[in-house]
Amino acid sequence: MLAIRLGLFITGASFASAWVDFDKGLINDLDLHHSFPVLGLGPPAKIPPHLLTEFISSVAPNASLVRNETLAAQFAYNNDQLIAYVDETSGETKVYPNLVGVQPAHGHINISRAFQFLRLNQTFPLDHTNIFLTTGSSLFGSTLHQSSENNSSSNARRYLTHAVVRRNVTSNGRSYSICGAGSTASFGFTQAGVRSLAYQWHPAKFTGQEIKPNSTDKIYDSIKNLLEPFGQQTRRVKVDGLDVCFYDSAVGFIQPVIRYRATLHSDNAGQSIAAPTPLLGYIAIGEGSPEPISTPESNPVAPTDAPSHAGHTSFKRAPGRPEIKVGRYVVREDAWEFVTNAINFLKGLQHPIFFIPSLFAKFVDSQYYWAQPFMFTTEKNSYINSVHLAQVEVHGNWHGFSTLHSGDEWVSLSDVPEEGYGGGAGGVLSYWLIRSCSVIPSPDDYAPKDWRMAFDPWFRLFNGLHAVAGARTPLWIADHSNPAFGRRLSLGAEFVFGWLETVENDPSNAGHPIDSHTGKPIGKASAVAVCGHQSDRVWQLENLGRPSCLIQYWYAD
């Protein structure tokens, strides 16, 4: 994925110049006049068992971790609902809150207990990095009953506030943030205490190796050549900023890298109805990188053009595990990273751990097409409404998305026929992931008097649907969220919080990055669900019909 990719599609600089807008002065602004150290990672750190037991019991009193010898992992379930897991090899640890049982707080949420966690040596071992606690984002929610007429102001309430442990490296008298796949520690506090956890941490110590930065020209050419294919695919890409950070692979090392932030379709920014799409990547700062930063996806399998009439399919559950039909629809004539996202989502669903399938459902690759407007409107029952779980990889903006490159062939949610989606509309769609920028604005994104407009399209669309997930701000075109979300769904995580948490804790979103075009934070997820069904798993396929109440969740700025 581009967010962590190196050395792909190297082409001539003369071609790159036509497609990449990159001011070399951005490199000159970096302090690259000295060498940077490399740190080696030790064995994974751990959350103390008594603390993990406390967190799990607070969510599901009868759940407890059970070790799977084959997978070298521990899982805690409440029936088929995943409450927690621990990957003993990587140290990754998750706790999910059972969102339907989380009560909104009255005012702010106290996270001061998190300072006690900082003193746990087995969780945050003393090493050659610096750690500090920050107040992370808060999860808000708002409920609307369709019969409500007199709600003059939003009833948005705070459900969770995250206490986030960050770390940095001191080199030559300056502090540099740690980026990349490792170094995650986020404790989700409700008014009743910790109810969610995302954690992966390794002690890190200097190896004695130092890396001398490459020349300005070499850095410039490396980044420009990496971005040239994306400029060709999206008409133009603009580099918005650079910085130095230390990349934690969560495998062997923390190494110095140059992180670049860019925008696709930069020649169309401000002119297209679609929100600009931000892009993040890293290159090694110099020669002698101790390990690859990534292994890029090669030769992704592209979607196909759909027949004019796909035909409605009858669905029968296989004996034992329910059969979940998955549909994936990808924007046409755009960056191949959208295709990679769709591929990785299905991989996560079908093989969440190694090559072992889900214990709870069989995920069937039912449709994989280049997106066309009719798939969501006039012929929806042959396409998106003929699958149980749909993923759309597109550009978007408030309550709509494009099916062709930078914003063409727009699908407004108001274009969907009145009967909507789901079992009550002649189909089976139950869960919909719209992987797009800004497609699900929250009540707080509107003027106070207009907050109900955030719900306007959803009551019409929900006719058997359980939940829809997306974002209220720009999303990186490529991060870790697609495969991670697929894996978590397959293991039994709740659809709504599984998505919200995956995006919020994605390492690409660490440090509260701001989109240079909109001024909004990047990576703030949102979702809409039928009230009482916000903890549903994707194999819960009951036809819910028309809802009388919807609840929307979002991470605030």
DSSP 482-521: HHHHHHHHHHT--HHHHHHHHHHT-GGGTT--B-TTT-SB
Phi/psi zone of residue 497: left (φ > 0), alpha (ψ -120 to 50 degrees), beta? alpha
| End-to-end Cα separation, the chain, in angstroms | 26
The residue ranges of every structural domain in the chain are 2-39+208-284, 45-148+158-201, 323-555
Residue range 330-344, pLDDT digits in tens: 999 888 889 999 999
* C-alpha span between 346 and 340 (Å, rounded): 10
List the single range of 80-89, 152-161, 392-401, 480-489 with lowest mean pLDDT. Answer: 152-161
In single-letter form, the type of residue at position 283 comes to I
Distance of CA 25 to the CA centre of its chain: 32
pLDDT above 90: residue 285: yes
Look up residue 329 and give its DSSP letter: E
Q: CB-based burial of residue 494 (10 Å sphere; 0-12 exposed, 13-18 middle, 19+ buried)? A: buried
Helices 481-491 and 337-350, packing angle to 10 deg: 20
pLDDT surpassing 60 at residue 30: yes
- Is the pTM for the entire model greater than 0.85? yes
Cα→Cα distances 150→111, 145, 147, 458, 485, Å = 35, 11, 9, 19, 38
d(CA 142, CA 552): 5
Write the pLDDT tens digit of every residue in 167-183: 999 999 999 999 998 89
| pLDDT tens readout for residues 443-452 | 999 999 999 9
Please, is 353 exposed, middle or buried when counting C-beta atoms within 10 Å of its C-beta (0-12, 13-18, 19+)? middle
Token look-up 């819910």 returns 544
CB proximity list for 519: less than 8 A, separation 6 or greater: none
DSSP designation for 462? B
Burial 280-304 (b: 16+ CB within 10 A, else e): bbbbbbbeebbeebbebbeebeebe
Q: Which CATH number fits domain 323-555: 3.30.2290, 3.30.70, 3.40.50, 2.40.128?
A: 3.40.50
pLDDT of residue 294: 67
Judged against a pLDDT cut of 80, whether residue 7 lies above it is answered with no
DSSP class of residue 348? H
Maximum alpha-carbon separation in the chain: 67
Alpha-carbon distance of 546 to 459, in angstroms, equals 8
Q: Which two tokens stand for residue 274?
A: 């679609």
The confidence score (pLDDT) of residue 335 equals 84
DSSP H or E segment with residue 241: strand 237-248
Q: Is pLDDT at 16 greater than 70 in this prediction?
A: no
On average, the pLDDT of the chain sits at: 89
Please, what is the Cα angle at 65 between 59 and 70, to 5 degrees? 145
Q: How far apart are CA 298 and CA 400, in angstroms?
A: 31
Give one DSSP letter per residue of 354-373, joined into a string: TTBPPSS-EEEEEEEEE--G
Residue 148 clears pLDDT 80, i.e. is over it: no
- Average pLDDT in the 267-276 region? 61
Of 104-113, 197-206, 265-274, 347-356, least confident by mean pLDDT is: 265-274
- With a CB cutoff of 8 Å and minimum separation 6, the contacts of 393 are 328, 329, 330, 331, 338, 339, 341, 342, 371, 435, 436
Residue with the bigger pLDDT between 19 and 430: it is 430
pLDDT tens sequence across 33-62:
999 999 999 999 999 999 999 999 999 999
Contacts of the segment 372-378: beta carbons below 8 A, 24+ positions apart: 372/306, 372/332, 372/403, 372/409, 373/403, 373/409, 373/410, 373/411, 373/415, 375/306, 375/329, 375/403, 376/411, 376/415, 376/416, 377/411, 377/415, 377/416, 377/417, 378/417
Per-residue pLDDT tens for 342-384? 999 999 999 888 778 888 999 999 999 999 999 999 999 999 9
pLDDT on residue 264: 81
Tokens 């829809």 belong to 468
pLDDT given for residue 235 in this prediction: 67
pLDDT value of residue 478? 76
Mean pLDDT value of segment 200-209: 98
